[in-house]
Amino acid sequence: MSSAEKDIIWGAAFDAGNLYRYLSAPYGARFGVYAGGAVLVGGDVGNEIAEDERPLVWVNCPGIGNLDMSWYREGLEGEECMTDEQVLQESCDNGDVHTDMVWLGDKLLEAYVDTVLRRRTEG
């Protein structure tokens, strides 16, 4: 893995907006990081026909309905009147989500290494 690719992947993980997009996506969506640093979330991410248009790495999103929202609701004022999406947005914008960012970064890097190894054995 080049240091530029690692920087792109870590940069995507350590962005509160990207963390929110990953966490709030529906189950079955994919979170993809592309070579230029763009991040897309959707069901078709990683299925691009041309190999040079595919993301550097993608991971499956957990699905907002599968998250333990008590972790994100803890310590928020007025959280009882907020939707899960609003709670996640507030937590990502103003909460302590460093651990979540590290976890997402590790997950992306692990998926990247797995993808590189798979491509080597296939080709």
Q: Which of 123, 15, 7 is nearest to 56 (CA)?
A: 7
Looking at residues 26-42, what average pLDDT do you find?
A: 95
Dist. CA 39–CA 13, nearest whole Å: 10
Cβ-Cβ contacts under 8 Å for 88 (sequence gap 6 or more): 20, 23, 24, 64, 67, 72
d(CA 92, CA 98): 9
Kindly give the pairing relationship between strand 39-42 and strand 57-60: unpaired
Confidence of residue 115 (pLDDT cuts 50, 70, 90): confident
Measured distance CA(20)–CA(35) in Å, rounded: 21
pLDDT in tens, 4-26: 999 999 999 999 999 999 999 99
Range 47-51 average pLDDT: 88
The pLDDT tens digits of the residues spanning 54-108 come to 999 999 999 999 999 998 998 888 888 999 999 999 999 998 899 999 999 999 9
CA distance 96 to 72: 9
Alpha carbon distance 65, 98 (integer Å): 22
**Helix (H) / strand (E) containing 59:** strand 57-60
Predicted confidence (pLDDT) at residue 123 exceeds the cutoff of 70: no
**Nearest to 6, CA basis, from 116, 113, 111, 109:** 109
pLDDT class of 30 with cuts at 50, 70, 90: very high
